[in-house]
Amino acid sequence: MIGVLNLQGGVVEHLDHLERLGIPCIPVKDPADFCRLSGLIIPGGESTCMSRLMRIFGIEEVILREFKRGMKIWGTCAGTILLAKSIVGEPAYLSLIDIEIERNSFGSQLDSFVSEACIPQVAPYLLPLIFIRAPKITRAGEGVNVLLRMEDYIAAAESPNVLVTVFHPELTGCVAFHRYFAKKCGFDPLDQKSLPAIDPAWNSKSWTRQARITRS
């Protein structure tokens, strides 16, 4: 089972992608939810908000405990900030991957942008990349594998147990990163060779499937 940290932010977007790959997944926010997870996604959102809630409700120590047990973690955007060992100008939170990160590094929403890149370890195609008020990874320490370097910063990196992306694969039709993380967690996603990196059935409103007014 892969959990998506459900305190705030882009939760349903990640659940939608995992479901597309047929991977069992749940939103998690109570300490008891974490014990059977092989992987955890910390989504995009506001890292200060998530960090406060994690601390108040004892989620931080649960994540650290389950990480020691072997749970893999993927952080997107704000999630990356929470996982970094060093944050420019402020104390770190979970400190689970040796990278230095600079918060909100591109400017305001007017500087948010779309790009694309090929990341051979993840998929042999050009992948769409969405940066929203994104941070920059400014340094990667020893034992951290840089997956994508762009201009003056690192946009994706991994260690054996942690994956970080400062962009948002869950906001595109790209399922390659979710497949890559699922493999890291020990899953063998269905049809992974035959499935394209971009799910043609996805569109920018797909997240709403998980957030209908008529649900329940």
Partner 1 sequence: MDKKRYELNVQLAQMLKGGVIMDVTNVEQAKIAEEAGAVAVMALERVPADIRKQGGVARMSDPAMILEIKKAVSIPVMAKARIGHFVEAQILESLKIDYIDESEVLTPADEESHIDKTKFSIPFVCGCRNLGEALRRIAEGAAMIRTKGEAGTGNVVEAVRHIRTVNREIRQLVGMPVEEVTGYAKANGMPYELALQVRELERLPVVNFAAGGIATPADAALMMQLGCDGIFVGSGIFKSNNPALRARAIVKATAYYNDPAKVLEASMGLGEAMPGLEIAEIPPGQLLAGRGW
Which residues are identified as catalytic? Answer: 77, 168, 170
Closest CB to partner 1 among residues 53, 195: 53
Cβ atoms 72, 38 nearer than 8 A: yes
Closest CB to partner 1 among residues 114, 146: 114
In the complex, least distance from residue 194 CB atom to partner 1, rounded to whole angstroms: 28
Instruction: For the chain, state the CA radius of gyration.
Output: 16
Q: Which residues bind partner 1 (CB under 8 A)?
A: 6-13, 29-30, 44-46, 48-49, 52-53, 56-57, 77-78, 103-104, 107-110, 112-114, 130, 132-133, 168, 171, 204-205, 207-209, 211-215
Closest CB to partner 1 among residues 61, 111: 111
SS3 157: strand
**CA 118 – CA 137 distance, rounded (Å):** 18
**CA 113 – CA 5 distance, rounded (Å):** 25
In the complex, least distance from residue 173 CB atom to partner 1, rounded to whole angstroms: 12
Residue among 172, 181, 176 nearest 204 (CA): 172
